[in-house]
Each structure stands twice: as structure tokens, then as C-alpha cells.
Amino acid sequence: MKSNIDERVVREFGIEWRRFDQSVLSADELKAVFDRYFAIFPWGVLPTHAKGFDLGCGSGRWAALTARRVGELHCIDPSEDALAVAKRNLSGVANCRFHLAGVDDIPLDDNSMDFGYSIGVLHHIPDTERGIRSCVAKLKRGAPLLLYLYYAFDNRPAWFVATWRVADLVRRIISKCPYPLKYVASQGLAIFVYFPLARLSRELEARGVSVQNIPLSSYGKKSFYTMRTDALDRFGTRLEHRFTKQQIVQMMENAGLTNIRFGDQSPYWCAVGYKE
């Protein structure tokens, strides 16, 4: 069976996490972002000393806050560089286990995990639904899986979608460039696009103006460091899929998840389902 990872994408994410290892991110900002991604995660249903996994752990930023709530957390990533960063960031966290592996070969027994999550990862692999199936296979019956997948702007007006199409054309060009040029271009976008729109949104929101449909308004209260990280992530990655809410439901159901629920706030789409 053909591998369900793109080696170049894996390699470049490793470079990204080495450069932006999240060590300078404030605890308040990390928690605020974590709380938005995990807003619908059912912590209350987990058993005492729950065991679970973080698929595509990257720098370990989500694991740092998850590990304190559970018994054991398996941090899985196919990039040696990324895993090295995660190990360093989580060096004081005794209940994390680290695995150099991709979504095809998750080194956990089937039907063994009390929970799992994969945040911003499975839209960067060739076959997203197959990746979800691989995650679900590791869960016990009734265990929750939290996913964050890039959305297809299906809750946005037509002009917003048109703006994204232009941005995506820029991404397709930048993502094919040599890495040094890709990095410079992404940082330019952070300076001249992300930062102005984010600060404009923050000022308008402070004056009571709705900023929901302003591109990049979700960065209004985020640091420039996060903007730089995400600009490289979004414009530097050559493999990207986007899904409507209904497409995500279908993939999750096909993978054996039920009782699927979505968050009602940015980032879109965060979804949780339970293994049948």
C-alpha cells in the first residue's frame, strides 16, 4: 500500500518546528489557543489515568497541556527534527512517550487508547480519510477522537471564498520554492498581511464592530510570533486539503466514528467523534 505521508512535507515541518519551537510563546497565549481547539473535547468522559495519543505532535505544544490532565500521552510524529523539539519542550513531563512514526504505522495496539487527537495534521497527508481510519483503529470502543482539519470556507460569504482562492494561488507558488525563499516570502506575508489585518481586527472589535468576516481576524489577539509561525505553515506547505463540514462528517463516519459534534467558533473545523 502506498505510504500515506509526503516525505518533503514531513521534512519541511521538521525545519519549521526547529525554527519556531514555540519556546517563546507565552503561557497565556498557548492556553488561549489550546482552549479554542479543545473547547469541545469531552474531558469528563475519560477514565482515571486515561491513555491516549497526539498524532502529529510537532513541537509538543498541545501535549504540554494535555499531559497534565491524563495518565499517559503518546506523542507521535514522522519527523525526527520535530520529535526532538517535542522531547526538549516536554523534558519535564514524565507521562509522555515519544514515537518516531507516521499515520500508517502508529506504534500502539489496536483498541487500546482511551482518547486521541490530531490537530492540524491530517489535511497535510495524501489520504485524509485513511489517516482518520488509522487513528480510530487505536481507540477503544466509545473513546473520543478530536480532529482539526482545514475548512473549505463553507460558512463564509462568496467574496471571502474568492479572496481565499487568490491566497491559495499564492500558496501554490510559494510552497514550490526552495526553502530559503519560501521562508522569506512567508515572513513577508506575516509582516505585510497578517499583522495589519490582525491589528485592524483587534481595533475594530474593541470598538464593538463585528470582525467575523475579516480575513485573519482570528489573529487579533495573537502574538506576531504566532503569525510568523502560521504564515510559514499555511503558505509553505505544498500538500493541503480543505473540507466542508459535511465532508468531514462523512469521513469520520466512514472511519467508524459516531455522535460527531463540531465547535461553533474559530478555528474551523474542530470536530469530535466516538468510536462505535
Q: What is the pLDDT of residue 163?
A: 94
Q: What is the pLDDT of residue 209?
A: 95
Range list of H helices, the chain: 7-19, 27-37, 61-66, 80-89, 128-137, 158-174, 179-189, 195-206, 224-236, 245-254
Sorting pLDDT into bands at 50, 70 and 90, what band is 80?
very high
Q: What is the pLDDT of residue 59?
A: 97
pLDDT in tens, 115-161: 999 999 999 999 999 999 999 999 999 999 999 999 999 999 999 99
Q: What is the DSSP letter of 90?
A: T
Is residue 2 pLDDT above 90, yes or no?
no
pLDDT in tens, 18-50: 999 999 999 999 999 999 999 999 999 999 999
16 SS3 class = helix
**Omega of the bond leading into 47 within 30 degrees of 0 (cis):** no
Sorting pLDDT into bands at 50, 70 and 90, what band is 275?
very high
* DSSP β-bridge partners for residue 135: none
Is residue 212 pLDDT above 80, yes or no?
yes
Q: What is the pLDDT of residue 79?
A: 98
d(CA 79, CA 142): 30
Give the residue-averaged pLDDT of 57-78: 98
Provide long-range contacts, Cβ within 8 A and 24+ apart, for 71-76: 71/95, 72/96, 72/97, 73/97, 74/98, 74/99, 74/108, 74/113, 75/99, 76/101, 76/106, 76/107
Q: What is the pLDDT of residue 7?
A: 95
d(CA 159, CA 3): 37
pLDDT in tens, 226-267: 999 999 999 999 999 999 999 999 999 999 999 999 999 889
Q: What is the pLDDT of residue 162?
A: 95
Give the residue-averaged pLDDT of 78-100: 97
pLDDT in tens, 166-195: 999 999 999 999 999 999 999 999 999 999
Sorting pLDDT into bands at 50, 70 and 90, what band is 1?
confident
